[in-house]
Amino acid sequence: MAVTAADVLFWLLALCAGVSGWRVFATDSMVRASFLLLLSFLSVAGIMLLLAAPYIGIATVFMMAVEMMVMALFMVMFMMNPAGLNPMMMVHQHKLAIGAGVLAFLGLTAAILLTDLPSDPVPADRAVVHDLGIELLGDSMLVFETAGVTLLATMIGAVVLSSRRGRYGDADTGSRPPGLEPGGDPAGREPEEGGGGHHHHHH
Amino acid sequence: MMAVAAFVSLFALLILGTALAAVMDRAAVALASGRPMGAALKEPARRAAALLLRQKVETERPDSITWPLAPVAYLMLAAVGLSVVPFAPGVVVTDISTGIVLWGACEALTVIVVFLHGWSANAPMALIGGYRYVGIGLPVLLLSMFVLIAAALPAESLSVVEIVRAQEAGLWNVVRQPPGLALFLILGLMLTLRGPFDYADAEDLAGGTKAEASGPHRLAWRVARLAMLVSFSAMAATAFLGGYLGPVLPGPLWLVLKTVAVMAAVIAAGHMLARLPPSRMLTTVWVVLLPLSFLVLVLVGVELLLWP
A155-183 per-position pLDDT tens digit: 888 877 777 666 666 666 666 666 777 77
**Mean pLDDT within A57-73:** 93
Is A8 found in the same domain as A76?
A: yes
Distance from CA of B44 to the nearest CA of A (A): 33
Structure confidence at residue A176 (pLDDT): 66
Q: What are phi and psi of B115, to 5 degrees?
A: -60, -50
Is A100 within the bounds of a domain? no
Is A27 within the bounds of a domain? yes
Is A63 within the bounds of a domain? yes
Q: Report CB contact under 8 Å: A129, B280.
A: no
Is A134 found in the same domain as A65?
A: no
Nearest by CB to A65, from B112, B127, B277: name it: B112
Is A201 within the bounds of a domain? no
The letter for the amino acid at B300 is V
Strand partners, A178: none
Q: Sign of torsion, CA A13 A14 A16 A20?
A: positive
Q: Which residues of A touch B283 (CB under 8 A)?
A: 197
A56 at interface of B, judged by CB pairs closer than 8 A: no
Instruction: Identify the residue among B69, B84, B112 best suited for mutation to test binding to A, counting A beta carbons within 10 A and taking the highest.
Output: B112
B108 at interface of A, judged by CB pairs closer than 8 A: yes
pLDDT score of A203 more than 50: no
Q: Which of B188, B173, B273 is nearest to B230 (CA)?
A: B188
In 3-state terms, chain A is what percent helix, strand and coil (to 5)? Answer: 65, 5, 35
Dihedral angle at the C-alpha atoms of B260, B242, B150, B135, nearest 10 degrees? -10
Q: Which residues of A touch B277 (CB under 8 A)?
A: 195
Q: Which of A84, A116, A137 is the last residue of a domain?
A: A84
Q: Report CB contact under 8 Å: B101, A32.
A: no
Distances (CA, A) of A84 to A30, A33, A77, B95, B113: 6, 11, 8, 40, 17
Structure confidence at residue B220 (pLDDT): 95
Q: Sign of torsion, CA B47 B49 B54 B59?
A: positive
Comparing alpha-carbon positions, the chain A residue that sits nearest to B125 is A83
Q: Report CB contact under 8 Å: A197, B283.
A: yes
Instruction: Identify the residue among B77, B109, B199 best suited for mutation to test binding to A, counting A beta carbons within 10 A and taking the highest.
Output: B109
Q: Report CB contact under 8 Å: A197, B104.
A: no
What lies within 8 Å, CB to CB, of B199 at 6+ separation is B129, B132, B133, B135, B136, B137, B193, B208, B275, B278, B281
Nearest by CB to B98, from A55, A85, A197: name it: A55
What's the pLDDT tens digit per position in A102-159? Answer: 999 999 999 999 998 888 888 878 888 888 888 888 888 999 899 999 999 998 888 7
Give the up-direction half-sphere exposure of residue B10: CA atoms within 13 A in the CB hemisphere: 22
pLDDT score of A191 more than 60: no
- d(C-alpha B167, C-alpha B185), whole Å: 19
The letter for the amino acid at B17 is G
Quick check: A37 and A97 in contact, CB under 8 A?
no
For B85, other C-beta atoms within 10 Å of its C-beta total 30
Range(s) of the domain holding residue A24:
1-84
Is A2 found in the same domain as A75?
A: yes
Q: Which residues of B touch A129 (CB under 8 A)?
A: 97-98, 158
- d(C-alpha B286, C-alpha B135), whole Å: 11
Q: Report CB contact under 8 Å: A62, B101.
A: yes
Comparing alpha-carbon positions, the chain A residue that sits nearest to B106 is A62
Domain count, chain A: 2
Q: What are phi and psi of A174, to 5 degrees?
A: 100, 135
Q: Which residues of B touch A55 (CB under 8 A)?
A: 97-98, 101, 158
Distance from CA of B284 to the nearest CA of A (A): 10
The per-residue pLDDT string of chain B (308 residues; one tens digit each, 9 = 90 and over) reads 788 989 999 999 999 999 999 999 999 988 888 888 888 888 899 999 999 999 888 888 888 899 999 999 999 999 999 999 999 888 899 888 899 999 999 999 999 999 999 999 989 999 999 999 999 999 999 999 999 999 999 998 899 999 999 998 888 988 888 999 999 999 999 999 998 999 999 888 998 899 999 999 999 999 999 999 999 999 999 999 988 998 888 889 999 999 999 999 999 999 999 999 988 999 999 999 999 999 999 999 998 898 87
Domain ranges of chain B: 2-306
Q: How many CB pairs under 8 A join A and B?
A: 65
A37 at interface of B, judged by CB pairs closer than 8 A: no
What lies within 8 Å, CB to CB, of B58 at 6+ separation is none
Comparing alpha-carbon positions, the chain A residue that sits nearest to B118 is A83
Strand partners, A186: A179
pLDDT score of A83 more than 70: no
Distance from CA of B229 to the nearest CA of A (A): 20
What separation, in Å, do the N-terminal and C-terminal C-alpha atoms of chain B show? 37
In 3-state terms, chain B is what percent helix, strand and coil (to 5)? Answer: 75, 0, 25
Nearest by CB to B109, from A32, A65, A84: name it: A65
Quick check: B110 and B77 in contact, CB under 8 A?
yes
Quick check: B192 and B185 in contact, CB under 8 A?
no
User: Residue B78: helix, strand or coil by DSSP?
Assistant: helix
User: Residue A56: helix, strand or coil by DSSP?
Assistant: helix
Distance from CA of A91 to the nearest CA of B (A): 21
Q: Which of B182, B282, B299 is nearest to B240 (CA)?
A: B182
Quick check: A69 and B112 in contact, CB under 8 A?
yes
CB-based contacts of A5-14 (< 8 A; 24+ apart in sequence): A6/A50, A9/A46, A9/A50, A10/A47, A10/A50, A13/A43, A13/A44, A13/A46, A13/A47, A13/A50, A14/A43, A14/A47
Q: Which residues of B touch A84 (CB under 8 A)?
A: 119
User: Residue A186: helix, strand or coil by DSSP?
Assistant: strand
- d(C-alpha B154, C-alpha B162), whole Å: 10
Distances (CA, A) of B3 to A88, A127, B6, B15, B252: 49, 23, 5, 18, 15
Comparing alpha-carbon positions, the chain A residue that sits nearest to B276 is A195
What lies within 8 Å, CB to CB, of B155 at 6+ separation is B162, B163, B165, B166, B167
